[in-house]
Amino acid sequence: MVIATALLAWKERLAGFSMGLTESELRSALLLAILAIVIYPALPRGAVDPWHLVEPRAAWVTVILIAAIGFVNYVLWKLYGDRGTELSGFLGGLVNSNFTVIELSSRVQQAPQTFVQPAYRGILLATSAMLLRNASLLLIFAPLVLLSSLPTFVLMLFMSTALVLWSYRRGQALRPASPATLKLELPFSLPQALKYGVVFLVLHVLGGLTQRQFGNMGFYTVSVLGGLMSSASAVAAAATLASQGSLSPSVAATGAVLASFTSLVFSLTFVLRTRHAPLIRGLATAMLCVALAGVMGLLVAGAAQPWLTQWAAQLARPAAGSHP
């Protein structure tokens, strides 16, 4: 009754929003709901292979979660993305950071005199959104892994935010630029979902196998390669391996950070296409500062790891005198 009353009260806003939806966007929403409600319950529970590496339900949960995050952020981008290049870059980065960087870089080629500084800030915010999304995935799948990598993500986000604010204070733009018109993919598509699922499954299996055969360095190598394909899938694979006990939280945290580093560097390659030397130098310096902040965060996390391990053990230990 309360929900029905709320829907009636919001009918004008809901009607305006639904009229702005395209047929493809509505189909994407329905497809996401069907895959979550119909496919997920039909998948088998637990591992289906003798090595306990392939878990269909875990892989599908990852697909649905990443797609749902992208869908929600796509809606936010559609509602508020036209209010400024920086806001559009941040919301677009939550959907797909690489496509956002490509779109902003193409705008620089069209208007190099007025769009360089907004593109600089928009690209930095898009990469910051990628870091925030990866940290959110760790929080959902393996909170202890996020705890181990929290100094790294916090320092990287702080550095990128500080660079954006510094760019605002410098005020080098000649005149305000018009908001960027990003052309992002649909909020959800079956090929994109299958891509996330395949990448996650491959990284999950390879990460487990390389860690067993070659130790932590093998897993780190897989994480770096995974960051080139999909940092979200690589981070989710590291978190899932840690939640299953195949990796320690500290190793999984380092792998997630390495995947984020790789995505950070990979996004810079799209900026090279602009051939705008000041923008390339500025973003290369900014990305280097963000990466150095991440390295400092890794050192801080490593120094605090013994305390974090002890604290996690105390949480896992059942309370003394508790009843079964």
Query: 231-243 and 56-80 are packed helices; what angle lies between their axes, rounded to 10 degrees?
Result: 140
Determine the Cα–Cα distance for residues 117 and 173; give it in Å rounded to an integer: 6
Each residue's pLDDT tens digit, 229-253: 888 888 988 998 888 888 888 899 9
What is the pLDDT, as a whole number, of residue 277?
86
Determine the Cα–Cα distance for residues 294 and 284; give it in Å rounded to an integer: 15
pLDDT band for position 132 (cuts 50, 70, 90): very high
pTM exceeds 0.85 for this model: no
Determine the Cα–Cα distance for residues 311 and 180; give it in Å rounded to an integer: 46
Each residue's pLDDT tens digit, 22-45: 777 777 777 778 878 888 888 887
Determine the Cα–Cα distance for residues 150 and 117; give it in Å rounded to an integer: 30
Determine the Cα–Cα distance for residues 108 and 19; give it in Å rounded to an integer: 32
What is the pLDDT, as a whole number, of residue 176?
47
What is the pLDDT, as a whole number, of residue 114?
66
User: Within 13 Å and on the Cβ side, how many CA atoms surround 57?
Assistant: 12
Residue 203 near residue 70, CB atoms below 8 Å: no
Each residue's pLDDT tens digit, 308-321: 666 656 655 554 44
Cβ neighbours around 104 below 10 Å, total: 28
Type of residue at 76:
L
User: What are 28's two structure tokens?
Assistant: 């994407």
Determine the Cα–Cα distance for residues 135 and 147; give it in Å rounded to an integer: 10
Determine the Cα–Cα distance for residues 319 and 137; give it in Å rounded to an integer: 29
- Residue 39 is classified by DSSP as I
For residue 179, pLDDT beyond 70: no
User: Within 13 Å and on the Cβ side, how many CA atoms surround 315?
Assistant: 8
Residue 263 near residue 199, CB atoms below 8 Å: no
Select from 77, 89, 29, 58 the least CA-distant residue to 233. Answer: 58
What is the number of residues in the chain? 324
Determine the Cα–Cα distance for residues 130 and 90; give it in Å rounded to an integer: 9
What is the pLDDT, as a whole number, of residue 313?
61
Determine the Cα–Cα distance for residues 184 and 31; give it in Å rounded to an integer: 18
**64-68, 70-74, 162-166, 179-183: segment of lowest average pLDDT:** 179-183
